[in-house]
Amino acid sequence: MREITIPISDETIRSLKVGEPVTLTGVMMTGRDAVHKWMIDTFIKQTRQPQGDDLEVYAAIKPLLDHGVIYHCGPVVAGLDTKEYKFVAAGPTTSIREEPYQADVMKHFNARGVIGKGGMGPKTLAGCQEVPFVYFHAIGGAASYIAQSVQKVLGVYKLDFGVPEAMWVIEVKEFPVVVTMDSHGGSQHAVIDEKSRKVFEELLAKA
């Protein structure tokens, strides 16, 4: 299995192909629905004025995401009272909800990887080729196992969004994923969708 260190170079991203299993080591950040909408509205489309600590948070995450990785994850976190945070569960959440935002977010922050489950659509796939970046598929239903690769919680931003929706900055070691959308236009999810559609049509024809 190939080992990749974050931050990830363009050369490494271009070398990755659909179906390739890899492990990720380094620092990444979680981000789900609230985070992506906040990024788009406040800093990319600028339909919302920065408020509160928005500018401070932006300044902190911009270098973190440069050639970095965003993880679609709503973790279960212990130590909220003492702020000695520890990930108890860190499974991936469904990525397609971020389809309207993902490519724009990756381009703006110059990020190189997004982790989630279920894959994403054509806008994100086009962004993979342009930015470039790849989509890493994590194992659904293995939240406790994946949490073992989280070595340390380095910080958290926008905790007012709620624990699952906050931006958790984590240090990971040998985080297991599979490349399922690459920077060459390959998408395992599109292949599976097409095969499933054909089988479904064949079944309907026999009904």
Residues 6+ apart with CB under 8 A from 205: none
**How do residues 75-132 score in pLDDT, each as one tens digit?**
999 999 999 999 999 999 999 999 999 999 999 999 999 999 999 999 999 999 999 9
Give the integer Cα–Cα distance in Å for 51 and 159. Answer: 15
Decide: pTM greater than 0.85: yes
85 and 141 in contact (C-beta within 8 Å)? no
Mean pLDDT of 146-162: 97
Domains detected in the chain = 2-206 (3.20.130.10)
Give the integer Cα–Cα distance in Å for 97 and 90. Answer: 18
Give the integer Cα–Cα distance in Å for 147 and 76. Answer: 9
- Taking CA 75 as the corner, what is the angle to CA 54 and CA 151, rounded to the nearest 5 degrees? 95
112 and 70 in contact (C-beta within 8 Å)? no
